Structure formats: structure tokens, C-alpha cells
Amino acid sequence: MPRKSESRTTTVGDKAVLSAIRTAASDIHRKIVHRRKPTMKFPVRSLTNVKYHPDRGFFEIAGQKKERTLTVNTVKTFAQTLRMIALSKELVQNDDIATKREAYYVSKNWEEARFHEQPESDTVMDDVEAFFAVNREQLGFIPEEKGGDIAGKLIVLDRDRDTGKALRIDCTKFGSGAYSIPISVEHLQFETNAAFILVIETAGMFQRLVKHNYWKHANCILVSMGGVPTRACRRFVRRLADFKNIPVYVFVDGDPYGISNIYRTLKVGSGNAAHLNEFFCVPQARFLGITPQDIVDYKLPTHPLKDVDIKRARDAMKNDPFIRHHKEWIKAMELLLKMGVRAEQQALAKHGLNYVIDNYLPEKLRRPERFLP
């Protein structure tokens, strides 16, 4: 198999990870040799250990750490942590990848250190990720799920693994199809002069905008999230936006789920993964619509808020540091609750299937300064 004999370029990120792994391992080794108990310190991963810095723009992990010392009681977890780190080293060195599930199965050959259930190995992997303060993908571990399609004014630069040849992936050339974001995106580079990135909730709306080459006339990049964005999708948008300071506008359903789950997760990350939000958030994202005010202004057909919507909105106003920080969002949520309704982005079709292209988006884009934060 050519995979074994391929030429391989180690990226700077890879070198840093390998060096961090070697340092950590030597430290533990030295302690053992000197007959001292080796320890490892991990940041506590929970909502109680999270801060929101508006100026930095994402949920950050606070200072609490837990310590794992090698004792009779911790020996198995300690060994599993070290084996997981060794697996990561192997992956990075060989330019290979392993999903969480694969890592679990690989452990079946670790004899006494094998995991019995995947949640155990997932927890150790999360620990290792937090320990090195890098995102899992940089350690060679990739999520199971794939997601995120791209069309429009963007060239993605990738590399053929066997030949090392550069690949220029021109996202204007896929017709009715799209470029599907890989599970790991750290190695991608970009070329673009797009005016903005439009990130879309539903595959149906994305397909409409692609079908009508909306990106051509609006000089933009279209991203389909297909619901709550995957890690790969968030990381891709973040790296792309950072690359040339491209504004990111988000177009989702006008309901508490679209706002506080989909948009909030894209923009500032999620509470229970605060140790990696730094990589997986898009602080520059702004909320184009559907806003609660759009429901009024565009006389959109609506559905009544369900109990779960009402609960989600109230929770967000009470407990979500991001929503609480922004008066505009509190006001928007209040308006939604007062009206008692929600509107899907495709409700614009009431005014004609392409009203969204001919009227709604151009009107909105004339005043991006009015977008919700």
C-alpha cells in the first residue's frame, strides 16, 4: 500500500504537538526514575469552570485544575492516559487519523489498559486534549461526524497525500453540487476575494442559493451547516474568516433553537467543551436573520412557540453568559416570547420562492451594522 511509503511533510503544528508530547512524557519518566509519584494536571471541564470574555469572544475555561497522581487507585486510568498520548504521537508522526470510536477499538490490544466502553475512552481523550491545550484534531483524533458544504468564491488549497502535489479546489466549479468539508481542516489553505461568508442553517435554503448562483452576484461564500454546525464546519469557517478578515453572516430559523443553539454554538462555542472553544468558535459571526423583528417586518407565516422553545428562550436569558451579555439579544428573545411564535427561514417563500434572493438578502445586506451581535 503506497500509504506506507509516502512522502510526508510535517507541519509546524505537528512539530509543536510532538514536542509537547515528548516533554510531558520525559517529565513523567524522570519522576518515575527518581522514585517520585508522577502526576498530570488537567483543567476541569465543566460549566462551573467557564468564563465569557466579550472582548475575546468565546467561552473560556477558568483556572480550576484536577490532578491525577499515579497511585494504586488511579493506575489504570493513568496507564490509559499514557497509551492514548502514545497513540496520538503515532498518529501525528504517520500523518494518520483515528476517530473516537477507532481509538476505543485500538485499545482492545492494550491488554489490562483496554477500555470496556467507549465513553471511558472518550473521557480520557478529552482529558488529553485539555492537557495539551490543543484541539483533538491536532492530536490526530477526529470526530465521527462530517458536515458542512461550501459553494462560491473560494479556492481551497489541499495536497495530494501520495504525490505531495498541491490541489486547488475551486468552489465556483461544482454546479448544483458543493465542496464537502473534511473532518479535519487544520491543513487547508485558502484563496478568496469574497466580500462575506453566508452561513446557512438548512440544506434546502443552501441548495436554493446554489441553484441560482447567488454567490456569483453577491460575491460571497455559501456555507451549509445542516443544523448545529459540526466541529469541522466551525473550525473551517473560523480559519477562513481569520485568514482575510472576512465578515461572517449567519442565516438561520427565527426561533430559540436557531438563535441559542445553532448561532450561539457557531459564534462562542458550547459550554461543556470550553477547553477547545478557542479553536471552534467564530467570534466575528453576526446574526443576519431570521430576527424576531423580521417576523413583523416581513409579515412571515409563523408557528406557535412550543413549550420546549419557551423553556429554551427563558434558559438562555437566565443562564447563557453570551445572551445575557448582549442587551440586543435579551430584547430579541423578549419580543419572540411576547409574540409567542417562531418563523423558519423558508417562510420567506410566502412572498415567492426567490423573494429571499431578490429582496430579503439584498435589503438585509445593505445594513450589516444592524445585524444582531
Q: Distance (Å, rounded) from C-alpha 246 to C-alpha 233?
A: 16
> Any bridge partners for residue 287, and if so which?
250, 372
Residue 121 contacts residue 79 (beta carbons within 8 Å): no
What is the chain's length? Answer: 373
Q: Does residue 242 interact with a second copy by CB under 8 A?
A: no
Interface of this chain with a second copy, residues 75 to 134, rule: CB under 8 A: 96-99, 101-103, 105-106, 108-109
The residue range among 15-23, 243-251, 274-282, 345-353 that interacts with a second copy, by the rule CB under 8 A, is 345-353
Q: Does residue 3 interact with a second copy by CB under 8 A?
A: yes
Residue 303 contacts residue 339 (beta carbons within 8 Å): no
Q: Distance (Å, rounded) from C-alpha 129 to C-alpha 40?
A: 13
Which residue, 68 or 187, is less far from a second copy as judged by CB? Answer: 187
**Near a second copy by CB under 8 A: residue from 198, 199, 210, 221:** 210
Tracing cell 514536542 back to the chain, one arrives at 19
Q: Does residue 346 interact with a second copy by CB under 8 A?
A: yes
Q: Does residue 177 interact with a second copy by CB under 8 A?
A: yes
Which residue, 200 or 288, is less far from a second copy as judged by CB? Answer: 200
Q: Distance (Å, rounded) from C-alpha 333 to C-alpha 329?
A: 6
In the bound complex, what is the minimum distance in angstroms from residue 157's beta carbon to a second copy?
9
Which residue, 98 or 316, is less far from a second copy as judged by CB? Answer: 98
Count of residues interacting with a second copy (CB under 8 A) = 68
Provide CB contacts within 8 A for 128, sequence distance 6+: 81, 84, 85, 88, 139
DSSP string, 104-172: HHHGGGSGGG--SSHHHHHHHHHHHHHHHTS-GGGGTEE-S----EEEES-EEEEE-TTT--EEEEETT
Q: What is the dihedral of CA 350, 351, 356, 357, to 10 degrees?
A: 140
The residue range among 11-19, 129-137, 210-218, 275-283 that interacts with a second copy, by the rule CB under 8 A, is 210-218
Q: Distance (Å, rounded) from C-alpha 349 to C-alpha 281?
A: 31
Closest CA to 155 of 144, 166, 142: 166
The residue range among 50-58, 281-289, 333-341, 354-362 that interacts with a second copy, by the rule CB under 8 A, is 354-362
Residue 223 contacts residue 199 (beta carbons within 8 Å): yes
Which residue, 252 or 316, is less far from a second copy as judged by CB? Answer: 252
Q: Distance (Å, rounded) from C-alpha 206 to C-alpha 226?
A: 9
Q: Does residue 38 interact with a second copy by CB under 8 A?
A: no
Q: Alpha carbon of 81 to those of 59, 96, 107, 141, 221: distances in Å? A: 26, 19, 11, 14, 41
Which residue, 13 or 182, is less far from a second copy as judged by CB? Answer: 182
Which residue, 239 or 324, is less far from a second copy as judged by CB? Answer: 239
**Near a second copy by CB under 8 A: residue from 142, 237, 240, 313:** 142
Q: Does residue 213 interact with a second copy by CB under 8 A?
A: yes
Q: Does residue 37 interact with a second copy by CB under 8 A?
A: no
Q: Does residue 297 interact with a second copy by CB under 8 A?
A: no
**Near a second copy by CB under 8 A: residue from 348, 364, 371, 372:** 348
In the bound complex, what is the minimum distance in angstroms from residue 178's beta carbon to a second copy?
4
In the bound complex, what is the minimum distance in angstroms from residue 335's beta carbon to a second copy?
22
Interface of this chain with a second copy, residues 178 to 207, rule: CB under 8 A: 178-184, 187-188, 202-204, 206-207
Q: Does residue 228 interact with a second copy by CB under 8 A?
A: no
Q: For the beta carbon of residue 168, count every other beta carbon within 10 angstroms.
A: 10
Sites of contact with a second copy (CB under 8 A): 1-3, 96-99, 101-103, 105-106, 108-109, 142-146, 149, 156, 158-162, 167, 169, 173-184, 187-188, 202-204, 206-208, 210-213, 216-217, 224, 226, 301, 344, 346-350, 352-354, 357-358
